[in-house]
Amino acid sequence: MAVDEEVILRGLPISSGVGIGFPVFLARAESTFGEAELPKKEIENEISRYRKALDSSRKDVENLKKISQQDGPPEVALILGTHLEIMQDPLITSEIENRIRKNQPTKRVLYDLIEECKQRFTTMRDHYFAERVRDIVDVSKRILGHLCPADRLNLAEMPHNSILIAQELVPSETVEASATLISAFVTAAGGLTSHAAIVARAKGIPYVANIDIKRLDKLEFHTIIVDGSQGIVVLNPTRQTLKKYQELKKNYSAERKILKTSAHLHGETIDGYEVRIFANLENPKEIDAVLKNGASGIGLFRSEYLFLSKRQFPTEEEQFEIYKKMVKSLRGGPLVIRVFDVGGDKRVDFLPEDKDAKYFRQIGVELNPALGCRAIRFLLRYPELLYSQLRAILRATRYGPIQILIPMISDISELQLVRQMLDKARRALVQEGVKIAKDVPVGCMIEVPSSAIMCDSIAEETDFFSIGTNDLIQYVLAADRSNFNTSELYSPIHPSIFRLIRMVVNAANRSGKPVIVCGESAADPLMIPILLGLGVREFSVAFRHIPLVKHTIRKWRILEACRLTEGAMEFSSALELKKFLVAETAR
């Protein structure tokens, strides 16, 4: 259908920036298979074809990884490393070969595997598991591309100013996409934490998801604008709209150049107030990237990712070696280790039937995992896991400054029980003649309303506070940000969130305890001046956001931030509050 007038669509902002160009639809042919089976005499040849395609795919990824390590964002090389691990996983390759030996053509086996994986990640709430499955899909598609060269997409040879429109992007497509040729991505599916999103942000390619692609496919339009900052897609823009976005694109490009120089500057306001910027981390292999982006240390290490993708729980010795290596790599910077945040939606049902798996099988499937047996609740039910981890952490403290962070505290008694277990582990190690640090700070995560409301009492039992804004917002507003029906209600810019953060910061100040803010709010340019005005002087964000956070902080004076915060506290509506902040921070 031809459309001559301007059409504005709204989606989920994934990667900021402005892209202006013409649409290119990435259509993928869906394969169907009849009942025909692979003749027995062809099985060995078919396995040989598969191994050859696998080897070619491995060489592709190795070359891409080498290029990324030399001249590219560190996130890209890490994701490609994950793909290499999948291709070298004997369990996956043997499963594929076993299916071929059951008279199934390789192409059918791979398509079946892709469909099985898609079914799995559509039901997964935990982004780590979902991304792992997506990576398997991505690798399978790459192998298929070598088996059927005519079906391969080459995003490195797209025309200039292409706006790629697809149902969903896999990481390798964004890795191979050239930022000089491709102006933006538009997809129906996609999330903020997906590997494709991470690569798009690292490359500076604007990206908007949650757009009705089927509707776009039915329309005829010549020009498209993608506003990755606001999640807006404009079809057939008017001359006035086009001029507006051309100016925005120019300003954004200039700002990106400035950000590149911000990584190693001090985090301080115009009037000289020091603000420390730390990094959130899941993968110990990313520490070099953390330091490269100017972090003062690790403000939140999500330790459960050490084993969520593996087939057995890590031993005390394995954990100790990892923590030791990490803290030594930080060269004096602090390492805040959050104890295992498992249970709930972070399930590990795939573990084999052995002694380590018994802990996880007993939990069962919960109707509401976000409110169920997770994090510290889970660990206190199975204290062997927590005790082993606390011993490993204490042993590593002799190699550098390590702090322990307890997640999902809803009652002060939970914190007291952890301290008792920590004392027990400390006494045991001293008796064994193991050297450990005399002072190991223990912090409390504020991510449920009860801990925020009782923060003055909790301050007496904790050495520092860490405000986990992602979960706190979800619980306070009773809105699941991953639920399409409630995602609009999930808003960090809400008066109740500001008031709770103020309560926690005031309680921390009265007791002389530090407070650090983690989560996406700490990297939001609209939220940063409010957090400064509330008294926050420590932030922990994904390492790729550190230059932006530093750049934003360096544009403000503390007095200005305090005045802005005073004005913001007068609002009772999230919508009006956001309008106020957008207007004030744009000045």
Closest CA to 188 of 215, 168, 164: 168
Looking at residue 423, its pLDDT comes to 96
Residue with tokens 């110990």, as numbered in its chain = 284
**CATH code of the domain in which 214 resides:** 3.50.30.10
Least confident of 104-108, 471-475, 562-566: 104-108
Looking at residue 345, its pLDDT comes to 52
Residues 374 and 321 in one domain: yes
* CA atoms of 431 and 201, how far apart (whole Å): 50
How far is CA 567 from each of CA 83, 249, 530, rounded to the nearest angstrom?
A: 49, 31, 10
- DSSP strand pairing (298-302 vs 162-166): unpaired
Is a pLDDT exceeding 50 seen at residue 406? yes
Q: What digits encode the pLDDT tens for the residues 292-345?
A: 888 999 999 989 877 765 556 789 999 999 999 999 999 899 999 999 987 655
Structural domains in the chain (count): 3
| Residue scoring higher pLDDT (502 or 479) | 502
Residues 18 and 44 in one domain: no
How far is CA 296 from each of CA 202, 393, 465, 516, 554, rounded to the nearest angstrom?
A: 21, 20, 18, 13, 16
Looking at residue 346, its pLDDT comes to 54
Residue with tokens 């369990």, as numbered in its chain = 91
Would 31 be classed as within a structural domain?
no
**CATH code of the domain in which 552 resides:** 3.20.20.60
Which helix (H) or strand (E) is 517 found in, with range?
A: strand 515-518
* CA atoms of 175 and 78, how far apart (whole Å): 11
Would 74 be classed as within a structural domain?
yes
Residues 435 and 560 in one domain: yes
Q: What digits encode the pLDDT tens for the residues 349-398?
A: 433 344 444 444 444 455 676 777 888 998 998 899 899 999 999 999 99
For 39, the token pair is 């003749």
Which helix (H) or strand (E) is 402 found in, with range?
A: strand 402-406
Contact assessment for residue 404 and residue 339, using Cβ atoms and an 8 Å cutoff: yes
Question: If you count DSSP H runs as helices and E runs as strands, how many of each does the chain have, helices first?
Answer: 23, 16
Would 244 be classed as within a structural domain?
no
For 408, the token pair is 């999902």
* pLDDT class of 34 with cuts at 50, 70, 90: very low
Which residues partner with 281 through β-bridges?
Answer: 301
* pLDDT class of 28 with cuts at 50, 70, 90: low
Residues 482 and 429 in one domain: yes
Least confident of 273-287, 319-333, 428-442: 273-287
Residues 171 and 307 in one domain: no
Could you give the 3-state DSSP secondary structure of residue 125?
coil
* CA atoms of 300 and 334, how far apart (whole Å): 10
Average pLDDT over residues 472-477: 92
Would 250 be classed as within a structural domain?
no
Q: What digits encode the pLDDT tens for the residues 202-228?
A: 778 899 998 888 777 777 778 899 999
Verdict on whether the full-model pTM lies above 0.85 = no
Sign of the C-alpha dihedral computed for residues 282, 286, 291 and 292 taken in this order: negative
Looking at residue 350, its pLDDT comes to 38
Residues 447 and 547 in one domain: yes
* CA atoms of 462 and 466, how far apart (whole Å): 10
* pLDDT class of 272 with cuts at 50, 70, 90: very high
**CATH code of the domain in which 71 resides:** 1.10.274.10
Looking at residue 4, its pLDDT comes to 65
Residues 183 and 280 in one domain: no
Instruction: Give the list of residues 6+ apart from residue 67 with CB closer than 8 angstroms, or none.
Output: none
Which helix (H) or strand (E) is 22 found in, with range?
A: strand 18-25
Closest CA to 38 of 28, 48, 30, 29: 48
Write down the mean pLDDT value for the chain. Answer: 83
Would 251 be classed as within a structural domain?
no
Would 32 be classed as within a structural domain?
no
Closest CA to 372 of 410, 339, 338, 406: 410
Q: Cα–chain-centroid distance for residue 111?
A: 28
Residues 98 and 174 in one domain: no
* pLDDT class of 407 with cuts at 50, 70, 90: very high
Alpha helices (runs of H) in 33-126, residue ranges in sequence order: 43-71, 74-87, 90-100, 106-121
Q: Cα–chain-centroid distance for residue 47?
A: 37
Give the end of a domain, one of 151, 183, 205: 151
Contact assessment for residue 433 and residue 424, using Cβ atoms and an 8 Å cutoff: no
Q: Cα–chain-centroid distance for residue 93?
A: 28
Which positions are catalytic?
195, 518
Looking at residue 561, its pLDDT comes to 96
Is a pLDDT exceeding 60 seen at residue 33? no
Q: Which residues of 359-392 are buried (b: 16+ CB within 10 A; e: fewer)?
A: bbeebeeeeebeebbbbbbbbbebeebbbbbbbb
Contact assessment for residue 466 and residue 442, using Cβ atoms and an 8 Å cutoff: no
* CA atoms of 301 and 289, how far apart (whole Å): 14
Contact assessment for residue 513 and residue 519, using Cβ atoms and an 8 Å cutoff: no
Contact assessment for residue 169 and residue 57, using Cβ atoms and an 8 Å cutoff: no
Looking at residue 29, its pLDDT comes to 44
Q: What digits encode the pLDDT tens for the residues 550-563?
A: 989 999 999 999 99
Would 414 be classed as within a structural domain?
yes
Average pLDDT over residues 568-580: 92
Looking at residue 20, its pLDDT comes to 93
Which structural domain, as residue segments, surrounds residue 111? 40-151
Give the end of a domain, one of 238, 259, 289: 238
* pLDDT class of 473 with cuts at 50, 70, 90: very high
Give the end of a domain, one of 135, 151, 167: 151
Contact assessment for residue 338 and residue 302, using Cβ atoms and an 8 Å cutoff: yes
Residues 284 and 310 in one domain: yes
Average pLDDT over residues 232-248: 90
Alpha helices (runs of H) in 157-286, residue ranges in sequence order: 171-176, 195-203, 213-218, 239-260
Residues 193 and 128 in one domain: no
Q: What digits encode the pLDDT tens for the residues 441-461?
A: 999 999 999 999 999 999 999
Is a pLDDT exceeding 60 seen at residue 434? yes
Contact assessment for residue 18 and residue 248, using Cβ atoms and an 8 Å cutoff: yes
Residues 176 and 302 in one domain: no
Contact assessment for residue 92 and residue 86, using Cβ atoms and an 8 Å cutoff: yes
Q: What digits encode the pLDDT tens for the residues 65-108?
A: 766 655 455 667 777 888 888 888 888 888 888 888 888 888 88
Residues 173 and 192 in one domain: yes
Would 255 be classed as within a structural domain?
no
